[in-house]
Structure 1
Amino acid sequence: MTTVRQILRYARRLGQASECSSKALNRSVRCASTQLQPKIIEDVNGKRIFASPCEFTPSEMFIHEYVWKNVDIYENHTALICAATGKTYTYSEARDTANYIARSLLNMDLRKGDVVALIAPNYPESILAFLGILEADLIVTTVNPFYTPDEIKKQLQSSGAKAIVTVAEISKHVLTVSKATLPAGAPVVVIEDGTGPVPEGTVPFKDLVDRGKTLPPLKHTHTSVNDMAVLPYSSGTTGLPKGVMLTHKNLVSNMEMTDKTASGTMFRYATSDFQEVVPLVLPFFHIFGMNSVVLPRLASGSQLISVPKFVPEQFIHILAKYKVTGLCVVPPLVLFLNATPHVKKDFFKNMHHVIIGAAPLAEADVERFYDKFQMDSDKLKFCQGYGLTETSPAVCMEVTGKKMGSVGKNVIGCDLRLVDPITNEDVTVSGQTGEIWVRGPHVMRGYFNNEAATNEMIVEGGWLKTGDIAYCDDDLDFFVTDRLKELIKVKGFQVPPAELEAILRTHPDVVEAAVVGIPDERCGEVPKAYILAKKGSTSTEENIKNFMKGKVSDYKELQGGVTFVNDIPKNASGKILRAQLKSQYK
């Protein structure tokens, strides 16, 4: 028998054809005719601004509230499926589990503002732990689970973490690091991932959830959406990783900004007979996977298939088994689809778009995909975006699938400038390059405990200097061409040269080292080292490469090779001229 509650739910659904609340719907009406049409204005100081296409008022919601705001509509839909363990959560189960986690964490004497480190691959439980941490009014710092113990230790120390959530596979070395870094008795929660036992002295994830069921309901303690919520680490424009202070408002704003920008062109909200199906291949600890895929897709009722580690056979199986409707990937995954003979055209019959982020995808690679599978952009769109950890992340989106190579226009609610890095004047000519400056509610609060780095990146007027060079065409679509910043992007992951150079200088035969990124067809870029060796040194390229192994994650290793030189070029202040080394390589 149909209940009154069910009738009310379906009535709500009908009123949410393109938005999830009447407030959001009213905001989108103001954008109806001008959406994705930025306007160029001059402010009172004569600055040339690519202004937001329309008025935007962000919601005053906390992240967990935004994600679960319509959970009663989707409660029986599948929210999360683990490709490795087979574990499945409905929306109702997922919502309850996150709440139980929040209760248990607060029962462990953690208090508002404490930082919890999430060191875990893409398991459903990782996502639910993330949401539970936020619901408990704690801060989550996401840590790459493939980091070495030394790399994990640095982030734990920098963030001041008071607890850890991790997985059984890496729990032993995480536990060792925690004892040397965290306060005595700090809880370490271990997700049972099927790879081995949970170590003694830790809290099994299942026990955390079960205990939460017996604890009293949470009392609302959240005070402001401007409170810090997530502390991912980024190297900014240069230097070593820094904690990026992202607030609830930053992250919710960016979800809403991208949702409105892509309205009617990409993902749809779930209904009684439709649900988007999206494999989560991108790492959740990365801002792209976190706030451009997982959180907004859960908020819209999608089904997420979590992939803890990319295994080609498993990924192909997912495409073959599930009716995948959209992919969010980095360029190397498109190259994989182009190269493997085991991916069939039939796998894409329910798919309407592929979103590319973290690094640019060449137009030739898209054409190769279309040729291989005998498709075109009318059937399956390839859409690129551009963003940074510091902007939560989306800055630009290309939603038509018709302009490969472009990252599209600035998203709704985001203002941009193009500033000549030499003259510091705004670019006024179409096709002329400049550094992208960003302003909007999605811009970070600053770098954690690093006022100097914050002031260097966020300047007067709230403008964030991205360090990325771009131009716009006559349609006001942006094209990113280069980076002022010296970060190396390997498969979308940031590799700061300074970090590798500091390690190389500890080698007994190395006097000085410089690291740059060089082009690589599979990875986008890979690190290459230039070494000034001690006189009489017998070290070889292989010796230097092996020295780095185990000290850094695999993607930070010197895949671009090692070149021994007689001099490392520097400017008058002693800064390494990496651009000069890159030009020499080219």
Structure 2
Amino acid sequence: MAIFIRRSQRLNNTLKTGIELLRSSLRCASTAVERKIKIVDGPNGEKIIPGSPGNLPLSTSTLSEYVWKDVEKFANKIALECGETGRKYTYAQARDSSNYVARSLRNIGLKVGDVVAVILPNLPETAVAFLGASEAGLIVTTVNFQYTVYEISKQLIDCNARAVITAAEIAPTVLAAIGNSNLGKIPVVVVDDGVQPIPTGTIPFQDLITKGKSLPSLPERTWSDEDVAALPYSSGTTGLPKGVMLTHRNLVRNIMMVRNTVPEGIFWNKATDSFQEVIPSVLPLFHIYGMNAIMCTRLSIGSRLVTLPKFTPELFASVLAKYKTTTLLCAPPIILFLTASPLIKPNYLDHVQCVISGAAPLGKSDVDRFYEKFQSLRSTLHFGNGYGLTETSPVALFNWREDKYGSIGEVLCGSSIRLVDPITNVDISEPGKSGELLIKGPHVMKGYYKNEAATKETIIEGGWLKTGDIAYFDEDFDFYISDRLKELIKVKGFQVPPAEIEELLRTHKDIEEAAVIGIPDSRYGEVPKAFVLPKSGRKPSEEDIKNFVNTRVAEYKHLRGGVTLVDSIPKNPSGKILRIKLRDKYVN
């Protein structure tokens, strides 16, 4: 997951001069001389590039302990508010509610280490449910609430979910998925979102809070920061979606790594008596970026998250108009929407201090058009970008400096990077030369859930995580992504693993074999395109194949790139699909 950041400081006139002086000094501090980074030789001849200088404080906190550790300092400030209904929790209420949820989840029979599936849109209760389950010692697998019955069933079965927390609007789909999963009778907790009635036989989410107040306190913690806290799903460098085992330590350390790499006031601002960040939470909280880089990180510093259960132009515009937004975290399509939509008035961003575009690159021409509309921000804009993966909890590199468009920045404090030539397998130690990016640090996942083979392919000797991305560094040890080895398709920042759609296509009665690649698209970034080998004597239509896929997967996985019938699917001697040959023949 790439993170691309735009920063603007809009302050009172009396403060502007001081802030510009601060920025000037920070630009000076961005030189390689100040950072004093040198390549270090590893025990086996590796060329290791260490992270930014700085002391990473020791911590054995679990995730919920870390998020709530300063809650008394902003207990009366709003923590979570629904941008559609206005339903809200103060920090004191959110913290207490999470604890009551934790008590109730244990009371209904869940045990430490059980997996709970949270299938929720962005609601205030999403954070309460996630942190409550975490406080109870449970493992939270987050599920895309836009998934179909087929997709939800696959994840529930794979992780052996022992309970589900969802919302009334999507409860029928979730219940159907549970019925298809052969998991037996498991508790289903439903948030009353006001859209549909809570189904009979389920547990109202509010009951967990109400009943939890009278339940005994949680027993003394028996799990450590090395135990798994979250189980989001990712396809890694290739293959089908896999559960990424992220420990409490992974998630907490990643928050600390960012905070100790980037000075306060440049990317993050802790709440004070006179200031609080206000963030429209539109990026999905089921995604690792929304989960840890936004939800957990920002709640730990007292920010106000205004949740949007869905993105619609009208709702997003109304939230920007109503709230004095200080920070925007979004993906490139939303930046383009801000620029192009007449619904968004320039004054809606008057209080914005930080604009973050994540999950996919944002072009300079897009930035220029943003400036044209929001001209008052031009002189005070701070620009940077960064890079991360689900497997790195997520942030791995970060660029908060103004002078390097396109760079993903420096290695985070507390971690290390290698570049390895994918052909010769030799480490690279010269600026400008490209190699596969390998990452090591306390933020690297424990492994893939019940998939030792995939774990060994991804985390190699010495604990190095292979990213599947090709990068190079410059004289200042700032990094740039130039290509990728991995075959994931990125649709509006969402991962679409070709193997997942290929597996589905092979279940079609008329299809013998299939291959899927991503092709460029001006609106989506990339879209999936399928190459289909029909069974003998069969000739399925493109429309039939598209409909077959569309009814079984989320909207962003639809075959917008089209379907091409072929006489053969190119493979190597071991049977691996050679997607590059299809791309060279039909696309390039």
Q: TM-score, normalised by structure 1?
A: 0.92
- Decide whether the 8 Å contact of 2:165 with 2:188 is kept in 1: yes
Q: Is 1:445 aligned to residue 451 of structure 2?
A: no
Deviations 1:381-423 (A, max 9, x none): 3432211111100011111243221111111112001111111
The aligned counterpart of 1:473 is 474
Quote the Cα distance in structure 1 between the aligned partners of 2:557 and 2:226: 34
The aligned counterpart of 1:566 is 567
Quote the Cα distance in structure 2 between the aligned partners of 1:311 and 1:518: 26
1:32: how far off?
Answer: 13
Q: Is 1:388 aligned to residue 389 of structure 2?
A: yes
1:482: how far off?
Answer: 1.7
Q: Does 44-53 or 112-121 show the bigger shift?
A: 44-53
Quote the Cα distance in structure 1 between the aligned partners of 2:36 and 2:338: 33
The aligned counterpart of 1:325 is 326
- Decide whether the 8 Å contact of 2:118 with 2:140 is kept in 1: yes
Which amino acid letter does the alignment assign opposite residue 363 of structure 1?
K
Deviations 1:476-496 (A, max 9, x none): 111112211111111111111
The aligned counterpart of 1:256 is 256
The aligned counterpart of 1:173 is 173
Show the 5 A alignment for 1:359-378: 359-375=360-376, 378=379
The aligned counterpart of 2:73 is 73
Change (3 A) 1:92 1:441: same
Quote the Cα distance in structure 2 between the aligned partners of 1:472 and 1:451: 32
1:85: how far off?
Answer: 2.1
1:307: how far off?
Answer: 0.9
1:469 partner SS: strand
2:523 partner SS: coil
Change (3 A) 1:582 1:183: closer
Deviations 1:363-393 (A, max 9, x none): 2211221123225654233432211111100
Q: Is 1:162 aligned to residue 162 of structure 2?
A: yes
Which amino acid letter does the alignment assign opposite residue 504 of structure 1?
L
The aligned counterpart of 2:584 is 583
The aligned counterpart of 2:122 is 122
Quote the Cα distance in structure 2 between the aligned partners of 1:410 and 1:344: 37
1:94: how far off?
Answer: 0.4
Which amino acid letter does the alignment assign opposite residue 170 of structure 1?
I
2:386 partner SS: strand
The aligned counterpart of 1:420 is 421
Q: Is 1:135 aligned to residue 135 of structure 2?
A: yes
2:285 partner SS: coil
Change (3 A) 1:377 1:259: farther
The aligned counterpart of 2:50 is 51
Which amino acid letter does the alignment assign opposite residue 187 of structure 1?
P
The aligned counterpart of 2:348 is 347
1:83: how far off?
Answer: 1.1
Change (3 A) 1:341 1:92: same
- Decide whether the 8 Å contact of 1:356 with 1:385 is kept in 2: no
- Decide whether the 8 Å contact of 2:164 with 2:189 is kept in 1: yes
1:182: how far off?
Answer: 6.0
Gap regions ≥5 residues in structure 1: 1-30
Q: Is 1:153 aligned to residue 156 of structure 2?
A: no
1:294: how far off?
Answer: 0.7
- Please, what is the CA RMSD of the aligned residues? 1.9
Which amino acid letter does the alignment assign opposite residue 51 of structure 1?
P
Which amino acid letter does the alignment assign opposite residue 207 of structure 1?
D
Q: Is 1:461 aligned to residue 462 of structure 2?
A: yes
Change (3 A) 1:572 1:179: closer
The aligned counterpart of 1:14 is none
The aligned counterpart of 1:247 is 247
Q: TM-score, normalised by structure 2?
A: 0.91
Deviations 1:189-233 (A, max 9, x none): 000001110011100011111010111112222431101111111
Quote the Cα distance in structure 2 between the aligned partners of 1:246 and 1:39: 30
Which amino acid letter does the alignment assign opposite residue 549 of structure 1?
N
Quote the Cα distance in structure 1 between the aligned partners of 2:31 and 2:517: 45
The aligned counterpart of 1:228 is 228
- Decide whether the 8 Å contact of 2:167 with 2:190 is kept in 1: yes
Deviations 1:123-149 (A, max 9, x none): 010110000001111111111111111
Which amino acid letter does the alignment assign opposite residue 219 of structure 1?
P
1:247: how far off?
Answer: 0.4
The aligned counterpart of 2:6 is none
Quote the Cα distance in structure 1 between the aligned partners of 2:472 and 2:545: 39
Quote the Cα distance in structure 2 between the aligned partners of 1:567 and 1:538: 14
2:169 partner SS: helix
Change (3 A) 1:368 1:277: same
- Decide whether the 8 Å contact of 1:163 with 1:182 is kept in 2: no
Quote the Cα distance in structure 2 between the aligned partners of 1:425 and 1:121: 45
1:34: how far off?
Answer: 8.4
The aligned counterpart of 1:26 is none
Which amino acid letter does the alignment assign opposite residue 420 of structure 2?
V
Deviations 1:53-109 (A, max 9, x none): 224344211100111001011001010110122101100010010010001011101
Report how many residues are paired.
556
1:245 partner SS: strand
1:571 partner SS: coil
1:178: how far off?
Answer: 2.2
Which amino acid letter does the alignment assign opposite residue 315 of structure 2?
Q
- Decide whether the 8 Å contact of 2:262 with 2:400 is kept in 1: yes
Quote the Cα distance in structure 1 between the aligned partners of 2:331 and 2:260: 23
- Decide whether the 8 Å contact of 2:137 with 2:223 is kept in 1: no
Quote the Cα distance in structure 1 between the aligned partners of 2:368 and 2:44: 44
1:528: how far off?
Answer: 0.8
Which amino acid letter does the alignment assign opposite residue 269 of structure 1?
K
Quote the Cα distance in structure 1 between the aligned partners of 2:35 and 2:127: 31
1:538: how far off?
Answer: 3.9
The aligned counterpart of 2:189 is 189
Quote the Cα distance in structure 2 between the aligned partners of 1:180 and 1:504: 20
1:37: how far off?
Answer: 6.0
2:112 partner SS: coil
The aligned counterpart of 1:557 is 558
Quote the Cα distance in structure 2 between the aligned partners of 1:541 and 1:178: 31
The aligned counterpart of 2:291 is 290
Quote the Cα distance in structure 1 between the aligned partners of 2:224 and 2:34: 30
- Decide whether the 8 Å contact of 2:519 with 2:529 is kept in 1: yes
The aligned counterpart of 1:502 is 503
Which amino acid letter does the alignment assign opposite residue 436 of structure 1?
L
1:296: how far off?
Answer: 0.7
Quote the Cα distance in structure 1 between the aligned partners of 2:194 and 2:307: 15
Quote the Cα distance in structure 2 between the aligned partners of 1:422 and 1:375: 49
Which amino acid letter does the alignment assign opposite residue 189 of structure 2?
V
1:214 partner SS: coil
Quote the Cα distance in structure 2 between the aligned partners of 1:374 and 1:431: 35
Q: Does 186-195 or 533-542 show the bigger shift?
A: 533-542
Quote the Cα distance in structure 2 between the aligned partners of 1:297 and 1:38: 29
Quote the Cα distance in structure 1 between the aligned partners of 2:347 and 2:381: 12
Quote the Cα distance in structure 2 between the aligned partners of 1:138 and 1:447: 17
Which amino acid letter does the alignment assign opposite residue 488 of structure 1?
I
- Decide whether the 8 Å contact of 2:157 with 2:183 is kept in 1: no
2:137 partner SS: coil
1:319 partner SS: helix
2:480 partner SS: strand
Change (3 A) 1:367 1:39: farther
1:343: how far off?
Answer: 1.6
The aligned counterpart of 1:13 is none
1:183: how far off?
Answer: 4.5
Change (3 A) 1:217 1:365: same
Quote the Cα distance in structure 2 between the aligned partners of 1:382 and 1:318: 24
1:536: how far off?
Answer: 4.6
1:260: how far off?
Answer: 1.5
The aligned counterpart of 2:206 is 206
Change (3 A) 1:36 1:367: farther
- Decide whether the 8 Å contact of 1:103 with 1:136 is kept in 2: yes
Quote the Cα distance in structure 1 between the aligned partners of 2:573 and 2:418: 30
Change (3 A) 1:281 1:428: same
1:567 partner SS: coil
- Decide whether the 8 Å contact of 1:161 with 1:182 is kept in 2: no
